Amino acid sequence: MSANPIDGIRRIPLYTFHERAWHWVQAVTILALLVTGAEIHAPEAVSIFGFRTAVLVHNAFAVLLLLNAAMGLFYFVTSGMIRQFGPQPRDFVTMSLAQVRFYAYGIFRGEPHPMQHDAEHKLNPLQQVTYLVILNVLLPLQVITGLLIWSASRWPELVASIGGLGWLVPIHALCAWLFLAFTIMHLYLTTTGETPTTNLEAMVHGDLKTRHDTTTEEAAR
Amino acid sequence: MRPHPSLVLALVIVTVVGLAVVLVELQKPRAPELDDPWSQLPEVAAHVDHSTFFDTDFADGPAVTQACMECHADAAQDFLHTAHWTWAGDHVETADGTQEIGKKNLLNNFCISIESNWPRCTSCHAGYGWDDADFDFADATKIDCLICHDRSGQYQKDPTGAGRPAEHVDLLEAARSVGRPTRANCGTCHFNGGGGNAVKHGDLDGSMMFPTAAIDVHMGRHDLQCVDCHRTEDHDIPGRSMSVSVSNTKRIGCTDCHAAAPHRDERLNSHVEAVACQTCHIPRMAPRVATKMQWDWSTAGEDRPDPDPHEYMKGKGSFVYDTDVAPDYAWYNGTSDRYLKGDPIDPDGITAMNRPHGDAADPRAKIWPFKIHRGRQPYDAELGHFVNPKTYGEGGYWETFDWDQALRLGAEASGLEYSGSYGFARTEMYWPLSHMVVPADESLQCADCHGDDGRMDWPALGYDGDPAERGGRRRAGITRTASSTTTTDHQGGTR
Amino acid sequence: MKSFALSVLVVTAASVIAASAPTASVIAASMTVASAPAASAPAAAVQSTDDAATTSPENPASPFLHPGLHPDVVLRDRDGTPVVASGNPVSPMQSCNRCHDTAWIEEHNAHAWLGLDEAGLARSGRAFDGGTGPINRWDPITYDRVDFDGDFTIGIADWLRRHGARHVGGGFATVDTEGRSLLDLEAGDEPAAFTHARTDDGAITAWDWNESGVAELNCFLCHGDDPANEARIAELSAGRFGTAAIATLANTGLVERDGEAWEWVDALFDEKGAVSAATLGLRSATAENCGQCHGAVVTSAADPFFVAPDPRRRQTETTGAIFAPGRIARSGMNVAGRNTLARAWDVHAERLVDCTDCHASTNNPGAYAEANADRPDHLRFDARRLDVQEYLKRPSHDLAKGRSAQGTMRDHLDGSIRTCADCHDASAAHEWLPYRDRHFDALECAACHVPRSMGPARQTTDWTVLTTDGEPRVLHRGAHGDPQSASTLLEGFRPVLLPRTGPDGERRLAPHNLVSTWYWYDTARERPVTREELHAAWFDGDDVRPEIRRVLDATGNGTLEPIELGLLHDHQIEAVAARLRATGVRDPKIRAETQAYRVSHGVAGRGGATRDCSTCHGETSRVGEDFVLADFAPGGVLPTLVGDGGVEMPGEVHTTSCGHVVVTPDPDIAGLYLLGFSRAPWVDRIGVLAVLMVIAGVVLHGGLRVVLWAARRQRATTPELEPRTEAAR
């Protein structure tokens, strides 16, 4: 798997092209939705596009997000990569604790990551749990409430029958806030690799650059 | 060679964003094609500063012209063929064959005719020295370049000098100042037709020198010059005056710059088929300076105590002036009739000096706004045709107040027969309005024409009643549906 | 994998190319100019001002009405005798009934009966409302109320004298509630309202209808092209009801005034006593006719008109709407920013749509169409209808109506009016609007298409005080100063959007003006204090009673200025209450009510309608904007909404810090959620908290990392002072 290193740096293929494409499209659309959604939510506080344009752009990116999420799901399922997201019960607690210890203590001392990442093992257990919630609870909730808000125009009786915009919009807005919080956290946590840009580069180029000797550590695992 | 994956990734992002743009645009409605008149304005050549080209004073007008011709000889030759020089242009078929008509030889119901009165009338000729019938129209040195091209502002013609410049004019300064003609150049003659400011046209007067937007939106708000619409090539200035022309060629029109149906409102666009742009967009004439609406020559010659020159002048008769006048409306398809010298008249009726062609049934005709100038002028009581009087100069009416003599001298000059007995008959003359366009917010509204208080006389225009209730001329079956053949000339302009 | 990427790329690249092409590449709606040639036609048809003018005394206004089909009319008096013979005033009922069934018309004419022919209780919830129409439903603007069941307040004769200007005659002006002719009544007959009236000094006396005559249904008022309304009003005010109709003909030249009497000009009648329809100026009612009572109507686009507030022109008074075709910039009204207001006062007036085009007669064969609910599913349109002749014989004068605060009569005709959707296809013109259907569900058309009402509209009527003229204190909206003066600047006002259940049962936001009234209420007799009682309490002869003047004259100059009229303090309230008790009012209390008037006229077309999203979607949304009800609350009483027009006023009526009484509508209560305006505050609080916590965590964690990393780096580059291993020692 690992080629002969040059300068002591190994390149471990981590993310496929499609994973990266899906990730960045997701990032761009979520960013656009957050910004335009902010303008719809508080037009005086955020006045960049004008209300009408913000609505149109929000709708456009919502469609793209939906398509991207659907395509992403399809890809992960058919390629089997969806396994990445499932926590392994066998080592879950041990590895979680190790990860927590790393974030709370080890990282300040410059210790290496407790987990070696490769194409088969991309997410640490904490990440797995987080993404499980994000992708299976928060995102669907956001998308469904968004769809229902949109359909208030086309199928007003449907929306009225489930309670109307009065609670759909606040839920949608709350999820948006949580997505914003997550995004900030996510951006920060990407800097917790070997170097602050290791993970970013990996998500752009696809390879994880590491100085560690993977052969001995593979045996140790 | 495979592109770098990161580059491909970037392209993916870009296409997604592009998709978003597409989706946004798809949500927007189809925007109607907007009128873009600014893109149609003529390109103006760079100004060439002539101030260093001349250093010696000029003896007279032709001397200047000769200096101009040193470089602009072909321009001079071109000019010789144009109507501003020849004061003629249209050819009409008469019983005696083809006649070339124009201001040179037509009668109107203002000062009637230039024949026998040349030195006074030709003070507005773009040439020098048209004193009599023998003016040499082939002599290019007689062209007055300065009347149109002077930018010094002090160039003036002697009002009775047959086109020669006035005494005080500094020809050298004028020559040095030449450039693209402005409203002042055109207006010095065209605003003062009929003998004074605002007398003749109704839509051209001194207020157009520096108009406000409320007077004329093109020349006021946007400071367009006459030549921006009357785009001239080879000195052939386009535009049609129904007073001296009858044909539909060399026209300019609103659609030279504006879309044919430029309104956002469909209902307004549906008027374009039967209503000329001018009708709604020129709701009044003479908003600032009074224009002459009636001229009765028959009352001339009386010694009234201190008459108001806007009501009576001994040499001319009595007048009616008016400001802010609502136009008269008539169908006009671009061609018209013209009273020619010698044509018989019905002395008890009203002779139309120029009647527009067209009616409700003519699909090429549209409703236009007109100033109709009404008057009484001398005619030969025996022979039954109008006679032109000599008014200016020796033996003219303005000296002798003798109609018989004036008419005899005038008839001599114009070639008409004069029996010696005269009378006065009524005339009317149509002057279509195309200037003093108001801003869109001031244009006519529905109730200005339709409804009980409207200004249109529907039966007179050939409708059964108000087309807002009964449908337009197509629905009412008034217009003939002719088979379509393309025409080269139409009222829409040169496009 | 690679091919997958490639295919995605191809598809999306194609889309990008499509996106960058101008998407506004579309089919211009251009009308092709006729270019088919034709041979030159015969003599041009031209209109010359020399020709016989279209307007002359013989041919008024439109030349197409005269001569029309209408035959000559023999004008007859009440007995059926031609007036040229008897010299008596004309009776429209007897003159017009040779062809039109005038009795039937009178029966089917809400204008004549004003609700008195409807056996129905008022829906207003006010105990003192006897019915549904202006005659027996208390109208705070006119104040007078005829009580048919209880105590005598004023008589029908009084009502006609004071408010007959807005009554077309007929109905209760000719017969009583039992159907007996007023001319046959005797002093003892009940109800007293018909047989008695008040004298000028307030005493109740019998009214002799045979002397005054009765005001018949006045066809000429609505069906004449130049009715002499002022002359008619003068006759009614003077109590000469029988001559109201003949006075209406004053402008036709058929009558001449001789002192107080009216003389017929015999020369204009033929030998049978008939006159031509042209002389009478007979025509279908136009907006001009309706405007005599309903609101300010202008017919010419070039008219530089000025309208002052006039309670007689009720629509304009209560909504500020002016039905004029000209541009606001072109009128004589001193409207703020008028130079920029190129739109017409009312787009329908501009487009020559008339009142009866929407408010048509309900059996007019040209206008009639069944309601959707009544029509079988398989029919889009039922073409079978009344013959024109039958219609002309019995044209219903129950006109099509919507459902508004004023229109509480003829409930069964609610929604019969031609509404916006009956003529307009809104979807075609609103493609630019996101969530268009949602907007159409939540808003009435007028919510955006009557963005501002520019005429002076009434805001407050304070009947707790009286001016020196004996009138209430009246305030108008949007006028900087006295709106009676042409130089007063008018701002107009933005109508408040209130939820209204329309005749179709749908609840939408509609623009309204709110007119609030403060008045004295007789708690014991459960009715507003009468004008007579109020007058008696306030004035002693022509002067204000000293007890009242004392408590209100703040400047102490002996007269009451308009600014001083206001019952703010307890002692002021008590002073007036005491005087009221002295006149016989047992328990006077100040009450306040707000009436909502839907603004339906003054419609803006494309050029003036609301297009800016931020008008509603934003913090300063007009949907939640304060709407002023009064400059202060007399007696500290806050008004409640009179709710029989199907309107709600969700929100709080309260006093602002400067004393103004305002209502702050709350769309939440109405069940509406507006993006950008409505908020669930807990969402934002949780959200901000979450984000702030994350940021705090990031800063702390990251900061600590940076600091410790820098320290490690420092240690690594500093040389060791002691050997590290044991071996080195």
Distance from the Cα of C341 to chain B's closest Cα (Å) equals 9
Whether A100 and A106 have beta carbons less than 8 Å apart is answered as no
pLDDT for residue C725: 55
Is residue A147 within 8 Å of A177, Cβ to Cβ? no
| Residue C60 clears pLDDT 50, i.e. is over it | no
DSSP strand pairing (B90-94 vs C661-665): unpaired
CB C218, CB C169: distance < 8 Å? yes
Q: Is the pLDDT of residue C51 over 60?
A: no
Q: Check whether C7 has a pLDDT greater than 60.
A: no
Give the SS3 label for residue B426.
strand
Q: Report if residue B58 sits inside a domain.
A: no
In this prediction, residue A117 carries a pLDDT of: 79
Residue C15's pLDDT band, with cuts at 50, 70 and 90, is very low
Which residue did the predictor score with more confidence, B160 or C21?
B160
Residue C318 to residue C596: CA distance in whole angstroms = 9
Give the residue on B whose Cα is nearest the Cα of C225. B452
Q: Do A60 and B23 touch (CB under 8 A)?
A: yes
Is C62 part of the contact surface with chain B (CB cutoff 8 Å)?
yes
Of the two residues C95 and C606, the one the predictor is more confident about is C95
pLDDT at C556: 85
User: What φ, ψ does residue A123 adopt, rounded to 5°?
Assistant: -110, 135
**C180 pLDDT more than 60:** yes
Residue B169 domain flag: no
Residue B262 lies in a domain: no
**pLDDT at residue C718 greater than cutoff 80:** no
Same domain, A96 and A169: yes
To test the contact with chain B by mutation, choose from C33, C297, C356 the residue with the greatest count of B C-beta atoms within 10 A, namely C33
Q: Is the pLDDT of residue C386 over 70?
A: yes
| Residue among A25, A53, A60 whose CB faces B13 most closely | A25
- A170 shares a domain with A100: yes
CB of C697 within 8 Å of a chain A CB? The answer is: yes
Whether chain C has a CB inside 8 Å of the CB on B272: the answer is: yes
Give me the residue from B15, B265, B480 closest to C16, CB to CB: B15
C447-472 average pLDDT score = 94
Which pLDDT score is estimated for C53? 35
Nearest CB to C438; choose among A107, A152, A174: A152
Q: Which pLDDT does position C120 carry in this prediction?
A: 66
pLDDT of A1 strictly over 70: no
Q: Is the dihedral of CA C436, C442, C445, C447 positive or negative?
A: negative
The mean pLDDT value of chain C amounts to 86
B346 in a structural domain:
yes
Catalogue the E-assigned strands of chain A.
10-13, 207-210
Identify the residue with better confidence: B188 or A13.
Answer: B188
Instruction: Considering only residues C10 and C208, tell me which one the structure prediction assigns the higher pLDDT.
Output: C208
pLDDT the model gives residue C727? 52
What per-residue confidence (pLDDT) applies to A12?
86
pLDDT, tens digit, for every residue of A111-141?
888 887 777 788 888 888 899 899 899 999 9
| Secondary element (H or E) of residue B369 | strand B366-380
Specify if A213 maps to a domain: no
Helix ranges (H only) for C262-403 are 277-280, 287-294, 314-319, 347-350, 355-358, 388-393
Note which residues in 356-395 of chain B have CB less than 8 A from chain C. 356-365, 372, 374
Residue C719: pLDDT band with limits 50, 70, 90: low
Is the predicted pLDDT of residue C22 greater than 50, yes or no? no
Q: Which two tokens stand for residue C598?
A: 């839907």
Q: Give the pLDDT of residue A155.
A: 92
Give residue C723's pLDDT.
57
Q: Is residue A161 part of a domain?
A: yes
Q: Show residues of chain A in contact with C683, CB under 8 Å.
A: 170, 173-174, 177
Report the pLDDT value the prediction gives residue A106, as an integer from 0 to 100. Answer: 84
Q: How many domains does chain B have?
A: 1
A48 shares a domain with A25? yes
Asked whether residue A107 falls in the same domain as residue A169, the answer is: yes
Residues in A 166-205 with any Cβ partner in B closer than 8 A? 204-205
Range with lowest mean pLDDT among A63-72, B166-175, C548-557, C689-698? C548-557
Using a CB-CB distance cutoff of 8 angstroms, which residues of chain A are in contact with residue B8? Answer: 17
Going by C-beta distance under 8 Å and a sequence separation of 6 or more, which residues neighbour residue C657?
Answer: none
**A4 lies in a domain?**
no
Is some CB atom of chain C closer than 8 A to the CB atom of A20? no
Residues in chain B with pLDDT values less than 50: 482-495
Q: What is the ipTM of this complex?
A: 0.89
Q: Are residues A147 and A96 in the same domain?
A: yes
Residue C676: closest CA among B118, B291, B485, A41: A41
Q: Are residues A74 and A147 in the same domain?
A: no
Task: Flag if C1 and A42 touch (Cβ within 8 Å).
Answer: no
CA distance A45 to A47: 6
Same domain, A109 and A41: no
Q: How far is CA C508 from CA C266, C646, C670, C696, in A?
A: 58, 11, 10, 46
Asked if residue C290 has pLDDT above 70, the reply is yes
Task: State which H helix or E strand residue B74 sits in.
Answer: helix B61-79
Domain range holding B215?
Answer: 197-249+267-495
Which tokens is B150 given? 């002077």
Q: Average pLDDT for residues C41-61, to the nearest whole number?
A: 36
Q: Confirm whether B294 is domain-assigned.
A: yes
Locus of tokens 């539909």: B248
The CA distances from residue B432 to A45, B247, B260, B449, C670, in Å, are 57, 14, 20, 18, 60
Q: Does A22 map to a domain?
A: yes
Angle at C8 between CA C7 and CA C10, to 5 degrees: 65
**Domains identified in chain A, total number:** 2
Residues above pLDDT 70, as percent of chain C: 88
Q: What is the pLDDT of residue A119?
A: 79
Nearest to C686 among A42, A56, A177 (CB): A177
Q: Is residue A79 a part of any domain in this protein? A: yes
Per-residue pLDDT tens digits for C320-375: 999 999 999 999 999 999 988 999 999 999 999 999 999 999 999 988 777 777 88
> C214-224, pLDDT tens digit by residue?
999 999 999 99
Instruction: Record the tokens describing residue B182, joined without a space.
Output: 């402005």
**Max Cα–Cα distance, chain C, nearest Å:** 150
Give residue B68's pLDDT: 95
Average pLDDT over residues C300-310: 92
User: Greater confidence, C615 or C413?
Assistant: C615
Q: Give the residue numbers spanning the domain of A168.
A: 91-113+123-174
- Which chains are adjacent to chain C, needing at least 3 Cβ pairs under 8 Å? A, B
Set of chain A residues whose Cβ sits within 8 Å of the Cβ of C676: 40-43, 51
pLDDT tens-digit profile of C112-156? Answer: 999 888 866 667 778 888 888 888 888 889 898 888 887 888 899
